[in-house]
Amino acid sequence: MNIFRKTLASLALAGLGLAMTQSAVAETKTVTTESGKHAPSLQELAKPTDVKIQSNNATFAEKYARQYNSWKDTDKSTEIVPAIEVDPRMIVLWGGYAFSKEYNKPRGHFYAVTDVRNILRTGAPMDANSGPQPMACWTCKGPDVPRLIAEWGEEGYFNGKWAKGGAEVVNSIGCADCHDTTSKDFAEGKPALRIARPHVLRALDAIGKDFSGLDRTDQRAAVCANCHVEYYFDKNVTNNVVFPWFNGVDVDSIEKYYDDIEFKDWVHSMSKAPMLKAQHPDYETWSLGIHGKNGVTCIDCHMPKVQGADGKVYTDHKIGNPFDAFENTCANCHDQSKEKLRAIVDSRKHDIKEVMLKLEDQLVRAHFEAKTAWDAGATEAEMKDALQAIRHAQWRWDFSAAGHGGHMHAPDVLLKVIASGLDRAADARAKLAVILVKHGVQTPVKVPDISTAENAWKVMGIDIEKERADKEKFLKEIVPQWNKEAIDKGLIFEAPPAK
């Protein structure tokens, strides 16, 4: 860990020197926040290093049998829940963005590579230079990512299309994502936790959590922050991953940062609003909740210490639902029965879902109303404030919806985020009503039937059958080549599961 960190720091310094001499010609733009912190420029990205990262998970099977076998057990969480088919409003909310094609609830870590290959969002690139997504889409899928960043540098890793990494990122979330697997400590069976992704170290620094200086508790939570966080791709640099934590990790601070740098993930296909897509701010939400504030980490609930048949205590690596291991998780600290705590968490989930859906309904209406206003001849100047309100309202909805387990991690925080989203949505719709009246449009604006995913895809102009056919072809023709190449190189011993 320390070697890696030092290398990073010295490279960043060397990069700074370069940035100063080249500032006149530098094309990349960074915005400095009030705190003086900013996203890295191209020159500040990490260069290749001689850090070795053993990314092949299977090589640890024998020596660390308990941890490996429990890690492998994440393959038992197989269910794919197609969230946008369960709730087709999302197809409208993400209009013009790939999420409207397919978005599923998370399942076991073992399937991360399989799922990113199979999802319609990554399309059907028939060669290494075809779209639609950039390399950054591999970043939270497994330990080949830090390996490639060490070998190619960050620019070398992030630039180019997603398909460039197809034969390289082949191990799902595994040992070298969280451990310094080549260290002496690890060889002795100690955890040797490490963060091997330079952009994550930078983000933790930005919130005053320099990884090497953290205590064991904070380090444990930080390994999950490799991936369970909000992030964006910096299009001004090389589509590299950046965590927008420069003002703080709560919904307002992140929104302010995005507004200050005038960032948008996409422009909505109907309303033309400059949208933000929240990813999964699990670490952020947890840190703001009662357990986070009391130093109870992800590990206490998702990776408890357990006793093997031989009596030896080890860390259970089957990351899943903590209620499935109640005696080793909640019951370590709480006296209540499993049924009682389950009922509390369920009722919070239910209440949050209820208000979340109300916000979705408001947003769906706002997008259709904005489209109607444009069609009636509204001008950009007239629409600007209403679109900004849509942006803020949907950001707040997505922050609460995209976070997984947020109803458990910080229900109070989510309720407030959703309430503020409802307030922004009301503001957007009030502004739109004025514009519609001005242009002689009769309200209420009619919303078409989007009660099924099929209907919603049609309304939004998505040819889902074509998307699926293209994907089939890609999976049949390209993916087997990726697997063969990776096996020949020794990156994996067997191909990731097809489904």
Q: Which residue in 53, 55, 71, 64 sits closest to 183, CA to CA?
A: 53
| 123 contributes a contact to ligand HEC by CB under 6 A | no
Tell the smallest beta-carbon distance from residue 106 to ligand HEC (Å). Answer: 4
| 77 contributes a contact to ligand HEC by CB under 6 A | yes
Q: Which is nearer to ligand HEC, 54 or 372 (CB)?
A: 54
| Residue 460 near residue 371, CB atoms below 8 Å | no
Span near ligand HEC by CB under 6 A; candidates 149-157, 314-322, 364-372, 444-452: 314-322
| 273 contributes a contact to ligand HEC by CB under 6 A | no
Tell the smallest beta-carbon distance from residue 176 to ligand HEC (Å). Answer: 8
Q: Which is nearer to ligand HEC, 44 or 282 (CB)?
A: 282
Using CB atoms within 10 A of its CB, is residue 81 exposed (0-12), middle (13-18) or buried (19+)? exposed
Look up residue 484 and give its two tokens. 């063969």
| Binder of ligand HEC out of 183, 315, 388, 455 (CB under 6 A) | 315
Identity of the residue numbered 140: C
Tell the smallest beta-carbon distance from residue 494 to ligand HEC (Å). Answer: 15
| Residue 299 near residue 290, CB atoms below 8 Å | no
Sign of CA dihedral 459, 460, 466, 467: negative
Span near ligand HEC by CB under 6 A; candidates 88-96, 120-128, 217-225, 472-480: 217-225
Q: How far apart are CA 103 and CA 89, in angstroms?
A: 12
- CA torsion angle 143 145 146 151 (round to 10): 120
Tell the smallest beta-carbon distance from residue 277 to ligand HEC (Å). Answer: 16
Q: How far apart are CA 486 and CA 417, in angstroms?
A: 44
| Binder of ligand HEC out of 320, 447, 485, 495 (CB under 6 A) | 320
| Binder of ligand HEC out of 51, 137, 330, 352 (CB under 6 A) | 330
Site string for ligand HEC, 32-71 (x = CB under 6 A): -------------------------x--x---x--xx--x
Q: Which is nearer to ligand HEC, 77 or 253 (CB)?
A: 77
Tell the smallest beta-carbon distance from residue 149 to ligand HEC (Å). Answer: 13
**Of 355-394, which residues contact ligand HEC (CB under 6 A)?**
none
**Of 101-120, which residues contact ligand HEC (CB under 6 A)?**
105-109, 111-112, 115
Residues with Cβ within 8 Å of residue 112, at least 6 apart in sequence: 140, 141, 142, 172, 173
Q: Which is nearer to ligand HEC, 340 or 438 (CB)?
A: 340
Q: Which is nearer to ligand HEC, 224 or 428 (CB)?
A: 224
Question: Three-class SS of residue 104?
Answer: strand
Q: How far apart are CA 374 and CA 259, in angstroms?
A: 23
Q: How far apart are CA 125 and CA 473, in angstroms?
A: 10
Tell the smallest beta-carbon distance from residue 124 to ligand HEC (Å). Answer: 19
Span near ligand HEC by CB under 6 A; candidates 23-31, 353-361, 404-412, 429-437: 404-412
Q: How far apart are CA 121 and CA 139, in angstroms?
A: 15
| Residue 278 near residue 264, CB atoms below 8 Å | no
Span near ligand HEC by CB under 6 A; candidates 167-175, 371-379, 475-483, 486-494: 167-175
Residues with Cβ within 8 Å of residue 415, at least 6 apart in sequence: 351, 352, 355
**Of 334-353, which residues contact ligand HEC (CB under 6 A)?**
334, 341, 344-345, 349
| Binder of ligand HEC out of 53, 90, 170, 173 (CB under 6 A) | 173
Enclosing H/E stretch for 274:
strand 274-275
Span near ligand HEC by CB under 6 A; candidates 88-96, 161-169, 403-411, 476-484: 403-411
Tell the smallest beta-carbon distance from residue 370 to ligand HEC (Å). Answer: 32
Strands 240-242 and 232-234, by their bridges, are: antiparallel
Q: Which is nearer to ligand HEC, 40 or 146 (CB)?
A: 146
| Residue 119 near residue 474, CB atoms below 8 Å | no
| 402 contributes a contact to ligand HEC by CB under 6 A | no
What are the DSSP calls for 190-235, one per residue? ---B----HHHHHHHHHTT--GGGS-HHHHHHHHHTTTSS--EEET
| 245 contributes a contact to ligand HEC by CB under 6 A | no
Q: How far apart are CA 80 and CA 119, in angstroms?
A: 11
Look up residue 209 and give its two tokens. 């959590």
Phi/psi of residue 82, each to 5°? -75, 90
Cβ-closest residue to ligand HEC?
405
Q: Which is nearer to ligand HEC, 22 or 321 (CB)?
A: 321
| Binder of ligand HEC out of 135, 249, 276, 301 (CB under 6 A) | 301
Residues of this chain that interact with ligand HEC (CB under 6 A) are 57, 60, 64, 67-68, 71, 77, 105-109, 111-112, 115, 140, 173-175, 177-179, 189-191, 193, 216, 220-221, 223-224, 226-228, 282-283, 286, 290-291, 294, 296-303, 314-315, 317, 319-323, 329-330, 332-334, 341, 344-345, 349, 404-405, 408-409
